[in-house]
Structure 1
Amino acid sequence: MHIHAYEKLWLAAAIALILLLIGSVTYGAVGPGVAMVTDSENQIDAGGLDEDERFSEPRVEQVGENHYEAYVVAYQFAFDPSPIVVPEDSRVTLYVTSRDVVHGFEVVGTNANTMVVPGEVAQISFEVDEPGEYGVVCNEYCGAAHHTMEGKLHVVSQSEFENRGENA
């Protein structure tokens, strides 16, 4: 049986594309910086967030030099706190949960993106460099007013961050 040269070329190209697809999917699943969702965290009572010390008062707090943690609650159809205010040149770890239905939490323009499930605490860490304003959107359909569910992340100067408590 004779195989034409063009058939050999197309066969080789198809095999190369299949191998490229398998390689890219494998890299995407186990590549550097990619962490899979685990169930190692204990579940929390989504209906009792007012009694949970982390989420009873959603806030941002400093936990180290240039490291801040924010505790965020998603609910139909808002995020609390909003805006989330953090200082520039810092590492931010967000702990996000939901009190009612599945939501999404995406800080537009960053790699911070997670699904927020009632009873679970999603953890996202990222760095902010310079002052600016980022949108926070819910990217999981959560009900009739889903399209209005948005928040803000404000990155401010260190002095403005420290002075905001005095002006409250």
Structure 2
Amino acid sequence: MHIHAYEKLWLALSIVLILALIGTVTYGAVGPGVAMVADTQPTVDATALDEDERFSEPRVEQVGEDEYEVYVVARQFGFQPDPIVVPANSTVTFQVTSADVIHGFEVAGTNANAMAVPGEVSEITVETDDPDEYGIVCNEYCGAGHHGMEGKFNVVSQSEFESGGDDE
């Protein structure tokens, strides 16, 4: 049986494309920097967040020199605290959970993106640079008011942060 040269070429290209697809899917599933919701964080009772020491009062907390933890609660249809204010040139770790349904937590314009799942705690760490203002959006459909679920993440100067945001 004789196979034409063009048929051999197309057959070879098809096999290469299939192998490339399998390779990219495999890399995407096990590649560096890819992580799902970590099971290292203790779970929370989504119906009793007011009794959890981390999430009873959503807040920004200084945990070291230029290191801050932000405890965020997503609920239909907003984020707490809002706005989130941190100083420039710091490391910020977001601890995010949900009080009701699955929400998204995305700091627009950055690579900070996580799911807020009731009972689970998602952790994201970002480095802040110069003062700027970012939007926080929910990128998981969470109900009728989803389109209006947004917040603010403000990176301010150290002096403005220490004065409580009065330097304008």
TM-score under structure 1 length normalisation: 0.92
Secondary structure of the 1:6 match is: helix
State the partner residue of 1:78. Answer: 78
Show the counterpart of 1:64. Answer: 64
Q: List runs of 5+ in structure 2 lacking aligned partners.
A: none
Instruction: After TM superposition, give the deviation of residue 125 of structure 1 in Å.
Output: 1.0
Structure 1 residue 130: Cα displacement? 1.5
Quote the offset at 1:36 in angstroms: 2.9
Tell me what 2:139 maps to.
139
- CA–CA distance in structure 2, aligned partners of residues 96 and 122 of structure 1: 5
In structure 1, what is the Cα distance between the partners aligned to 2:51 and 2:60?
A: 18
* Residues 1:157 and 2:168 are matched in the alignment: no
The whole-number CA distance in structure 2 between the counterparts of 1:166 and 1:61 is 19
C-alpha distance in structure 1 between counterparts of 2:126 and 2:2, whole Å: 58
Structure 1 residue 41, shift from structure 2 partner: 3.2
**1:41 — aligned with what?**
41
Structure 1 distance, partners of 2:12, 2:65, is 55
Q: How far off its partner does 1:38 sit?
A: 3.5
Q: Report the RMSD for the aligned CA atoms in angstroms.
A: 1.6
Q: What's 2:29 paired with?
A: 29
Residues 57 and 165 of structure 1: CA distance in aligned 2, closer, same or farther (over 3 Å): farther
**AA paired with 1:87?**
P
TM-score, length-scaled by structure 2 = 0.92
2:160–2:166: 8 Å Cα contact kept in structure 1?
A: no
Gaps of 5+ in 1: none
Equivalent in the alignment of 2:103: 103
Aligned to 2:87: 87
